[in-house]
Amino acid sequence: MYRYTRSYTGPVQAIILDLAGTCVDFGSLAPIQAFLTLFESEGLSLTEAEAREPMGTEKREHIRQLLAMPRIRQQWRERSGAEPTEQDIERLYHAFVPFQTQAIAERSELIPGALALQGFARDHGIKLGVNTGYSREMVNVMLPELYRQGFEPDSVVCATEVPQGRPAPYMSFCNAMELGATAVQGCVKVDDTATGIEEGLNAGMWTVGVVASGNAVGLSREQFDGLEETVRAQRLALSHRKMAQSGAHYLIDSIADLPEVLACIQDRIEAGDCP
């Protein structure tokens, strides 16, 4: 029989990764590309910074939050003569899906370090899961390409499959159950958005924020590597400060750095620390 203990001192049992910007799609560009295309098709001006602000949320909620931004809401009023409604959000979501699936198909390359992390997890008996603000329809476009590259997570959970998406903890809880984890204190949530980190914190898990490959920097790998060294360092420092506000227990540049953090977390667990 399972018995709850306040001070879990066992092994790290599960790693739960976000998808875009964390283990695939360096820079998390597929969602941005889709949202910019969607709003342009509606005759609305949307900047990349605005599109990134709700990143990590389920995509209907993402659209809802974009339409609530004062500048965008004013454009909507001027264009339609009314406030945006739930029916408008639903229509926009259905228009968004094909834009998103196309962008996902074009940006399904694993981020360097993903396969090494998978090998590390298997070698150490740690289960590996992913969760995402994408719907199952969108994820089904991505998964075959991930499998082709050799990345095969033990659990895949989508925001549309739980009662509420991020920052609610339900996706992480679902991952933990599917992975057979018996203590949330032995689970590590890894994400490139503040909303995803909040999800992990709400689930009572250790949290690791990803900076360089994700939403905080927002550049493709080619763009990031092409920055002059001083500019790249400045941008990274700024993005680290921004991501630190999420409350993540640890910050890393990419999941290539995660094994070292997992060792630190294991030491803390064995010492009786809790997330």
Active site positions, annotated:
18, 59
Q: In whole angstroms, what separates CA 141 from the centre of its chain?
A: 17
- Tokens describing residue 196: 């995803």
Across-strand partners of 130? 17, 156
Q: String of b and e for 111-121 (b: at least 16 CB within 10 Å)?
A: bebbeebbebb
The answer to whether 159 and 196 are in contact (CB under 8 A) is no
- Tokens describing residue 124: 């150490």
**DSSP codes, 209-227:** EE-TTSTTT---HHHHHHS
